[in-house]
Each structure stands twice: as structure tokens, then as C-alpha cells.
Structure 1
Amino acid sequence: MKMFVNKDSVVRQIWGKSDTVLFIFAGASAEFALNKAVDWLYFTGRLPADPLGRLFSTVGYARQIVFSTEEVAHKAIDKMAAIHAGVEQKRGQSIPDWAYRDVLFMLIDYSISSFELLERKLSEPEKAEVFDTFYRVGSRMGLQDLPQTYPQWLVARQEHLAKNLHHSKYSFDLYKQYKKHLGPIRYLLLLEAQKLVVPQLVKSMLKLSNINWLVPVLAIYKVTRQFNLDWLLKEAILPGDYKKEIKALDHAPV
């Protein structure tokens, strides 16, 4: 059986560790708040009502695609497309193609930046692997005007950041929901994590400072991983209701 992502691909390393996935979420949660199409995430009410639940739903689809056969991955992508089509039908208008592309671009960008933050620098061919994985997801969904190569994506990413972000009432409300559902301490940790992975434009628009006290904490955390003590820290800082789901991120989905 042909796998959607090769078993020795760096993409599986990235999406097979809870640490990396949580930083991907941190980056995406920042950029989602600024996206001009964020009102679509408010249409169903699911995101503001349960931002963490939305995270695990989205992560579940992404991991199912990454760790599945091509046939199963295609079914997951088709199901995801059908869900969005249902939302479009209820609202009576279509989600713009650029909004779908933005989500794919976030997954590519934060997959790379999160892994490099926590593990090591990726080679250009490895970055191209990450791009290719999500390019094939977008292609299966029928998205138009996708960049064809990683270098083309780098240019398109900057264009999307410049055109498709703005600070709105949804930005303010979404951060209020993050704080409500995470609590003040975990919310501060989210902000610090966002500073480490988001592009400078996102950081500036959200008024995130360049001072980051999480850098020395991360250095200590990397040491604890060598002795399998990292879960002592995770147990202390992660929301209790989602510890089971977060632990599952360290294993390939069944």
C-alpha cells in the first residue's frame, strides 16, 4: 500500500511529536486571529466556543493524512472538503480560495519553524517535502493557483501575509477566548510560544514584544527530554481535560 507520506519523511517526525504540534497550533492560533476570513470560523460558533477542541479536531485530520495510506488520506481530505462545503451551503456563499491557501500556508510555515525551534535546522529538500505534502492536500481539495514549488511558495507566503491579514473585532474576541479557556498562566505561555514561531509581520500586528523569557525555559526543557522527564513539565502546564489527547500526539494515529 502506498502511504500518503513516506515512512522516513521528516513530515512524520514533525507531526509525530506533541511538542512540535503544540507550537504549530500556537503559531496558527495567532495568524488565524488576524486572517481576513476568520469570520468563517465564527459562523458555526465552534472556534470561539471551544478553541482547544477545534485544535484537536484540526490536528486529528492533519495527522490522519500524514500517517495514512494514500487511499485513507484522500478520504480524509474529501471529508474535510465536504464539511466546508456544508458550511458554505448554510451561509449561502463560498469560502474564498485564498482563505484555504492561507491555512495550507500556515501548516507549511509553522511545521518548519516549530521543528527548527525544537529540534534542528531543516535542509532545503526537507522543507520541500513539507511543502509537497500540503500542496498535495490542497490539490486534492481542488484549490486553484497553488504555488508549484517550495521557492514559489516562499514568494506566495509573503504576498498572502501582506494582503490577507488585519486586526479586527474577531482578533480581539479570539484572544479573549484563548485566555478564557486556557487561564492566565497558560495564556501567557501561548503568547510566549507565538513570539518564537510567527513571522515578524504577525508579531507586529498583534503587538507581541521581542522580549521572550521562554527561550531559556526551552533550553531546560530540551535537556529534560533526554531523560524522559519532559512530561513532568507538560503535566504541570497543560490543560487537564486534554492531557490524554496531547499524549496521543506522540504516537502515530491508529
Structure 2
Amino acid sequence: MSFFVNEDSIVRQIWGKSDTVLFIFAGASAEFALNKAVDWLYFTGKLPSDPLGRLFSTVDYARKIVFTSEADANKAIDIMRQIHAGVENKRGYSIPDWAYRDVLFMLIYYSISAYELLERNLSAEEKEEVYNVFYRVGVRMELKELPPTYNEWLPVRETHLQNDLQTSNYTQDLFLQYKKHLGAMRFKVLIEGQKLVVPELVKQLLQFSDFSLLTPVVPLYKISRLMKMDWLLKSLLLPADYKEQINGLNIQQKQKQ
């Protein structure tokens, strides 16, 4: 069977661990709130009404791409594109191509940033591998102007950050929704986690300090994983309704190994 992502790929390691996935979406949730096209996510009402549900819906699509056959992964990508096309038809105009690229770029950036925070620095070859997986996703979605390599992507990513991010009423409202659905304590943890993985410009726009309360906690968390005690920390931080879905990411990885 041909897989979209090789079974020994670093991408499977990144997306096969629940804590890494949580940090990917912690970072992306911050950057999403600043994106100039975030109004598209408000059009259906699904994001503000259930930001956690939206997160896990996206995780589910990512899992289908990373852990399934090439045919099934392509099918998942095509469905994703069809869903967005349906939203475009309802609204009467197209989502800008740069907005699609921004989302793809977030997945690339935070896959690397989250893994390096919790595990180790990736080699140049591994970063290229991460980029190539999502590049192929973008090609399948018929996105334009995608750089062919990781190194060529880096300045393009920086340009997108400079051009496509701003604080707005959507930014404020989305963070209020995060707090509403997570609760005050978990929301505080989200903010501190975001500080650890977002780029400098995102910190500046959200008025984040450089210091995160989680900085001294990360080494302790790594030790807790070695001692198989990380479940205790997750049980304190994750809403009960979503614990099974998060833990399911770890189970998925074990089944594929």
C-alpha cells in the first residue's frame, strides 16, 4: 500500500503525539485570531460557537492525511476543498488564495515549532520533509505560488506574516470564545503555551510578554512523560469532553508503528 506520508517519517512522529498536536493548535489558534481572513471562519459561525470542536475536526483531517493511504489522504484533501468551496458559494465570493496558503503555512511552522519545544531540534532534512508533506497537500488543493523547498518558503512565510496579520474585533472576540470554552485556568495555560511557539510578530500583535510561566514547566513535563505521568497533567488541563479524542492521537500512532 502506498502512503501519503511514509511510515517512518518525522511527520508521523510529530502528529502521532497528543501533546505536540496540542501545541501546534495552541500556536495556530493565536495566529488564526490575527489573520486578516479570519472573518471567513466566522461566516459559518462554527469557529466562535465551538472553537475546540473546530480544532478536533481539523485534527481529524490531519490524521487522515498523515496516517492513511495515499488514496484516502487525497480523498480527505479533496473533501476539505469541497467544504471550503461550499462556503464560498454561500458567501458569494472566493476565499483568497493567500488565506489558504496562510493556513498551510501555519501547519508547517507549528509542526516544527511544537516538536522542537517538546522533543529536539529538527535537522535540515527533517524540516524539508515536514515542508514537503504540506507542500503536497497544497498542490492537491490547487494552491498557487507555493515555494518548492523549505528554504525558499522561509522568506515567503515571513512576508505572509507581515502582510496578512492584524489585530481586530475578531481577534478580541475569538480569544473571549477560547476563554469561555476552556475556562479561566485552562485559558491561562493556553496563553502561556502560545508564547512558547508563536513567532515574534504574533507576540507583538497580541501584546504577549517574552516570558512564559510554562518555560520552567516544560522540562518537568518531559520527565513526567518518561515516568508515564503525563496523563495526570493532561487530565488537569483538558476539558473532559475532549480527553478521549486527544488520547486517541497517541493510540493511532501506536497502531501504525
Which interval holds the TM-score relative to the shorter structure?
Answer: over 0.9
Tell me by how many angstroms 1:215 deviates: 1.1
CA RMSD of aligned residues (A): 0.9
The Cα shift of 1:227 comes to 1.1
Tell me the equivalent position of 1:237: 237
Matched residue, 1:63: 63
1:40-61 deviations in Å (ceiling 9; x for gaps)? 0000000000000000000100
2:123 counterpart residue number: 123
Structure 1 residue ranges (4+ consecutive) displaced by more than 3 angstroms after TM superposition: none
Separation (CA, whole Å) in 2 of partners of 1:150 and 1:36:
24
Separation in 2, partners of 1:104, 1:243 = 26
In structure 1, runs of 5+ residues without a counterpart are none
Q: For each residue in 1:29-75, what CA deviation from the matched residue of structure 2 results, as whole angstroms up to 9, or x when unmatched?
A: 00000000000000000000000000000010011100111100000
- Structure 1 distance, partners of 2:217, 2:238, is 15
Match of residue 193 from structure 2: 193
- Give the AA of the match of 1:139: V
Residue pairs, 1:182-221, within 5 angstroms: 182-221=182-221
Runs (5+) with no aligned partner, structure 2: none
Aligned match of 2:228: 228
Determine the C-alpha separation between the residues in 2 that align with 1:207 and 1:251.
37
The answer for the alignment partner of 1:142 in structure 2 is 142
Q: Which amino acid aligns with 1:87?
A: V
TM-superposition CA deviations, 1:147-171 (whole Å, max 9, x none): 1111111011000000000001100
Deviations 1:163-222 (A, max 9, x none): 000001100000000000000000000000000000000000000111211011111111
User: Is residue 2:165 matched to residue 1:168?
Assistant: no
Letter in 2 for 1:70: E
State the partner residue of 1:12.
Answer: 12
TM-score by length of 2: 0.98
1:144-159 aligned at under 5 Å gives the runs 144-159=144-159
| Aligned residue in 2 for 1:47 | 47
Give how far 1:252 is off.
2.1
TM-score normalised to the size of structure 1?
A: 0.99
Deviation at 1:251, TM superposition (A): 2.4
Partners of 1:174 and 1:30 lie apart in 2 by 9
Q: 2:53 is matched by which residue type in structure 1? A: G
Q: Offset at 1:119?
A: 0.3
In the alignment, which residue of structure 1 is the partner of 2:112? 112
Q: Distance in 2 between matches of 1:120 and 1:211?
A: 20
Aligned length: 254
More off after superposition, 125-134 vs 216-225? 216-225
